[in-house]
Structure 1
Amino acid sequence: MTISWERFEGSTDGFAARLAFMSDPDEGSAATTEESASWGALQIWADGHNLSAHVSQGEPLQSTHWYLLPVLEWIAEHWNPLFHEERLPNRNVEGAAATALIVTRNAPALADESDILTWEEDWYEWHARHALRAARAGGLFPNVVIRRFRDSIEVSWDDEPLAGSPRGFRHSASHGVVYLPPAKVARPLYELLRSATDHLLNLHPESTRLTELRGQIDKLRLPDQHHVRLDWLAGLRRPPTLGSRLVSGTPADDMQIRWNEIVATLQETGDSEQVTEVLAVEESPLVISGSCHAALLFSSVAPTITSEDVRTLASVLVERYSRDVDTTELEDLSFEILPDPAIPDWEQGYELAEWVHERIDLTSSGGSVDIEGLLQRLNVTVISRRLRDRDIRACSIVGPHHQPTVVHNESSLSFNHGRARRFSMAHELCHLLFDRSQGQKLAIASGPWAPRSVERRANAFAAMFLMPTVLVQEIIAEQPESVEEPAVVAAIASRLQVGRHATIEHLYNLTLMSEVTRDELLARAQNSNSAL
């Protein structure tokens, strides 16, 4: 087929897209005039993979061929959540978003009818905002999902078969994920969106549909997008219920925005200078690339956060503001490292803990790692506050004008256990050192709604940090019994001041015990109600 228009934007080793318009093979009999003009080929590239490449009837093809106007409309309509919404629907499961959507498609087996309806509605709407297949309108598009991941954009893919696909049809890139700077994804998509729409509008200047699309594209660069994008970043947007939309057709821009509550609370709590710093972002007309402290923190809490907890956390953000922050030694150890899909999260956490141990002496006279002493040495303040959400164990905050801080949650089950608090401090230290946005800002609440890969890595870091291999081996060498005996596990946990659950899991990861023994010891530890 003859190509009438073509555009390529981006870099194939990061993110890129190619769009070409061709003559409609059905000559407009199966589509509107505008759609017929948009028949063409689409390629999506990520991390060197052509996600559109596929095999159909034994023939390898490099592009998806279909009507592309619905794709352009989908990008324009969902631009802000596409680049600013991180929180997954219903449950924060592990893995990239493309895989998570497959795992969470169905409600739990024991859910009642109303819960199933809510679950399915939330899943469907999140899928509609982030999955390319939501715009396919009958085409055989790759299963590509784009979402925010802290201050990066996660592009993930999974070749889940489409119902009705021809026999033998499959995409070449089976599954994967890459994390990219927001501008590296937003800029090529915007240029492609704008130029393709302009071409179609030149062909059909009388088209109301294309005129409206061009108007949507123009709005993406307006200043009033700032607060909407912050709202999506914070993960607290409250879409109207399905019933209210059926009755009133409430548009997204008219939703009640929870972000206003956060901003109001900050303004009540702090002065203008403090509030300005807490809300400061790095952004372009197209996307917020560097999140503010408030958005980073509230994006990691439960979507059902109470107003009381909003006030408590907002107050901490304001209180920890400081014009002069001495983080010299912390900075020397700190760098941002995104999850690596090629390396298990626990392995990455172990490597980071060993890296820190190589640089500073951390053992105390009693043989355990002096985590509290290290935090003091790094000028990290440890405080506590009471939150109604007991699932949040602790929070971490640091920035150019924020005192490095670990905040224990007094209502957490671990707060009253000294060993559990030590583990939490080591966990938060990992966040302070290696999860700082753009190498500068961090605000995260460690709990069920924080990014799973980041949390698993921090847990592994804490285990290796508090139980370095050399100390574990020294203690084992002193014991007359095997490491698989409960008494030896108890001795290691006691000497290193960690919980038995964490000790058992760590010994298993170090291949010092079998899976069967691990499970038996965990069952015994559970029955004894030990911390961690």
Structure 2
Amino acid sequence: MAWSSWEMQAGDPATFAFKLAFLQNPHDNDRSSPEENASWGSFAIWAQGENLCSHFELGERIDACHWYMVPLIEWLIENWDPLLHEERLKLSNAGTTAAQAMAKSRMPPLTLKETDEFEWLDSWATWWRRHSIRASRQGGMFPDLYIRRYRDQVEISTGAESLPGIPEDHYFLAPDRSYFVCPQQVSEALFTVLRAAIQELRRRMPDSARFVTLETSVELLENSERRNSRMAWLAGYGESLSDYLAISRQVDDALASVEQDVRDSLISFRRSTALVIDGSSYAKLLYGAISPDTTLDDVVNLTRELVGNYVFNASEWLDRLLLELDDSEVSKLAPGEQGSRLGEQACEILGTDSNTRVDIRAILEDLGILITDLELSDPHLRAISVFGPNQRPHIYCNTGFTNLKGGHKEPVNRFTLAHELCHLLLDKELGDELAVASGPWAPAAIEQRANAFAAAFLMPTWVLRDQVAALTAPLDTPNSILRIARNLDVSASSLVDRLLNLGELTFDDRIRLRYLC
């Protein structure tokens, strides 16, 4: 049966837009399912002005992906909550985007036993099925595109993975991209198109049980009872709602005697809609979105700490942290290069005239940033930074943090504080409320930037230049490295890495000196 063409687009391509069309099937109803035959068409996704579905086929540019649309519609509805709320990767925070991380973690580590390899692959595939649009393709040429939550935004990222059986002259024009979009914009554009598309399918086949089920499912996306499920995904417990509810009850108990304004500032979501939870990083932190090793005691302790850190208005501290950094060009750089550039700028503004040790603790005190030691269960969690409209800037250092070389020596602590300063200065662009837990499960890009920032802040080039000039032995010797490290109160390994990045040491020097020092 031939149906007239239909199409619907919602959203703004300059930020996020979604378009879906039903077209005349050129394959003469070759699908076994009549519903799928009725849904032949195309789709396109735009993020910040770029069409992520644009591709070449046989030398011709095509601006949409053509295939049967019912599997895509079903996939979007079935995975709605994790798509818009789940940030934590299943296995490894191996890349700065979901597409990068999934490409890097596809193969199990060599150290895994054979039985553990199967578990790794199953876990990888489970996360892929929730977030990769190719999980819905069933034969079509779809982009290597992932959708997931990223702090208070939705990340749209693409990779460059080829499709089996697709000729080399078929390729997408926007590989290795990443964009961050307001969750409300994404949810509203997707929902508007999905609901209209299902209404059109119902018109085409009013007696189809599959389409009746789809119509019911899309309307349930606005059901308020999905809030707990969405919170569970935000908190990293999406597959175990019961674990989230257990923690939620403990948080509620800890907040039972707290004034309503304080309580709302920690666990409310001021910009949420019926389709998506949008907002507060504090609540994500309170409900356990730190790492897979977070315990109930950690959550309760953090809840109490954030209650004690509440202020009616944090604008006084916000003004102090608004440094006039020249970030007009650095946004185009890799995270590590961004951190290095901005770390030196911040040191020049905030540091002293001394050509030796940067007094990071005095700088933090002048900025009004509090420092508190807090024991948390995850030994790989360095620290937590919080700041926002009702939270004074505060660094919570994990006394249980285990560094491979020296544990809690002062150089490690100083690096941690400089790392957290970067979060407080630079990482509010993805949300009003800042709550970053610095560790293996923090967003890789902001951790890379913060590490480079800390190194540049504690070891700016003008200080290193004076230190090198005062040496009586070559720079690439253990004695020289240790002397400068002692003078600057930094670890030898951090100094070696910094000198490598500045081109003062070779990679071979780095390997040798890190071993000897």
Pairwise same-fold verdict (TM > 0.5): yes
- Equivalent residue of 1:396, what SS? strand
Corresponding position of 2:97? 96
Alignment of 1:76-475 (within 5 A): 76-166=77-167, 168-237=169-238, 239=239, 255-270=240-255, 271-273=257-259, 274-281=262-269, 282-296=271-285, 301-325=290-314, 326-333=316-323, 342-360=332-350, 362-363=351-352, 367-414=356-403, 416-436=408-428, 440-475=432-467
Pick closer, same or farther for the CA change 1:310–1:484 going to 2, 3 Å: same
- Equivalent residue of 2:177, what SS? strand
Which residues of structure 1 form unaligned runs of 5+?
240-254, 526-532
Q: Distance in 2 between matches of 1:512 and 1:299?
A: 42
AA at the equivalent of 2:21: A
Identical columns (%): 35
AA at the equivalent of 1:23: Q
Q: Distance in 2 between matches of 1:338 and 1:24?
A: 49
Corresponding position of 1:528? none
Moved more, 222-231 or 67-76: 222-231
- From 483, 487, 512, the equivalent of 1:495 is 487
Shift of 1:58: 3.8
Moved more, 123-132 or 321-330: 321-330
Pick closer, same or farther for the CA change 1:25–1:366 going to 2, 3 Å: closer
Shift of 1:328: 4.3
- Equivalent residue of 1:224, what SS? helix
Q: Distance in 1 between matches of 2:328 and 2:443?
A: 11
- Give CA-to-partner distance per residue, 1:132-155, whole Å, 9 cap, x none: 100112212111111111112111
Corresponding position of 1:530? none
Shift of 1:387: 1.7
- Equivalent residue of 1:474, what SS? helix
CA contact (8 A) 1:151 1:289 kept: yes
Cα RMSD of the aligned pairs, angstroms, is 2.5
Pick closer, same or farther for the CA change 1:133–1:299 going to 2, 3 Å: farther
CA contact (8 A) 1:150 1:296 kept: no
Q: Distance in 2 between matches of 1:403 and 1:341?
A: 27
AA at the equivalent of 1:345: P
Shift of 1:388: 2.1
Corresponding position of 2:34? 33
Shift of 1:291: 2.7
Q: Distance in 1 between matches of 2:377 and 2:127?
A: 27
Pick closer, same or farther for the CA change 1:221–1:355 going to 2, 3 Å: farther
CA contact (8 A) 2:234 2:289 kept: no
Shift of 1:365: 5.8
AA at the equivalent of 1:13: A
Shift of 1:440: 2.8
Shift of 1:431: 0.9
CA contact (8 A) 2:152 2:279 kept: yes
Moved more, 127-136 or 154-163: 154-163
Moved more, 483-492 or 210-219: 483-492
CA contact (8 A) 1:152 1:179 kept: yes
Q: Distance in 1 between matches of 2:437 and 2:487?
A: 29
Normalised TM-score (structure 1): 0.89
- Equivalent residue of 2:186, what SS? helix
1:518 aligns with 2:510: yes
CA contact (8 A) 2:53 2:65 kept: yes
Shift of 1:186: 2.2
- Equivalent residue of 1:389, what SS? coil
Pick closer, same or farther for the CA change 1:324–1:9 going to 2, 3 Å: closer
- Give CA-to-partner distance per residue, 1:482-503, whole Å, 9 cap, x none: 3223222222212211111111
Shift of 1:75: 0.8
Shift of 1:344: 1.5
- Give CA-to-partner distance per residue, 1:173-195, whole Å, 9 cap, x none: 33222222223322221211111
